[in-house]
Chain A
């Protein structure tokens, strides 16, 4: 977390969170707000279809493949091993919870035991 000049970090984070709540209200309410029913244009709907996946992958990829602003140069990284285990689990049994547990089962021993 970082502050902007005189603004303390906690105040900046609080504003960020309040804004995110506004985003939730707007996105879930936008077609419920107007008095009359508004249809969403098909072209817009198509364009929006991949946006959520794109956003999640954009946050995810650097979290797994990068460290200190560079692509991870070693295989001895708990995150890579955990992501691999999670991927294999998902290929075997699709589901979010199993994928998470498989990843953690590899991540925690490597990180806490071997210090990767």
Chain B
């Protein structure tokens, strides 16, 4: 009965409906992730496990070449963490709207919230303040998003498990990471960070344990901090000039 009340709630329904605006794009992205997992040599059951519990598309795609190359698990975790750091920033934003829930529920719901959930939410509730009904809106979107993502991902895993690895379909994952990376190039700092990271990852490739990934991330973050400091110094100089 409680489930029925939940499904009939107008806020829950609106949350689900707003999320489905992204439905086709999300389904396609889920299928590609499923195909890439099963084609990276992970196998069907491990791909299903990863899909069901990791539930973070970008981190999943990025981990595949590392796992295939035999990287130690802490390197895989560290790069997944770097990719997921944006969620830490998001979680401090979600806090405003979910802070009134009990801790267990907050964290469980937070686990389901990725990029598109925030995009949809901010469009529906501009202003960034708490209002009643928001938690139900968020839950409606999160649950429909989870269901759609898992269906697409599982379909991708199952359908591609009979495709020979020699086709190299796993490269689809690399191509979608390329598209995501381009969409993150928004200002000069991000271009410089990407260039530094790419050069460092290739230059340090011969390091053992896939440590080139962590070296590249550290180099790019340092470069972006240096740029911010240089900008501040330049601003201060201009302010001092007569």
A6 contacts partner chain B, Cβ-Cβ < 8 Å: no
A 13-45 binary contact with B (CB < 8 Å = 1; else 0)? 111111111011111111111010111100001
- Report the contact-size class of chain B (Cβ under 8 Å from the partner): 35 or more
Q: Give how many A residues have a beta carbon under 8 Å from the other chain's beta carbons.
A: 73
Give the contact stretch, choosing among B6-14, B65-73, B121-129, B150-158: B65-73
Q: In this complex, what residue of B is CB-closest to A10?
A: B46
Task: Take A40-B88, A52-B83, A56-B58 as given contacts and tell me if A20 and B175 are in contact as well, using a CB distance cutoff of 8 Å.
Answer: no
Which A82-116 residues have a C-beta within 8 angstroms of B? Answer: 82-83, 86-87, 90, 94-100, 103-104, 107-108, 111-112
Please measure, in the bound complex, the distance between the C-alpha atom of A23 and the C-alpha atom of B80, giving whole angstroms: 7
Question: How many cross-chain pairs have Cβ atoms below 8 Å apart between A and B?
Answer: 277
B234 contacts partner chain A, Cβ-Cβ < 8 Å: no
Which A residues lie within 8 Å of B145 (CB)? none
Which B residues lie within 8 Å of A87 (CB)? 178, 182
Binding site for A on B (CB under 8 A): 25, 28-29, 32, 41-43, 46, 49-50, 53-56, 58-60, 62-63, 65-68, 70, 73, 76-77, 79-92, 94-95, 98-99, 103, 106-107, 110-114, 167-168, 171-172, 174-185, 189-190, 193-194, 196-202, 205-206, 212-213, 216-217, 219-221, 224-225, 228
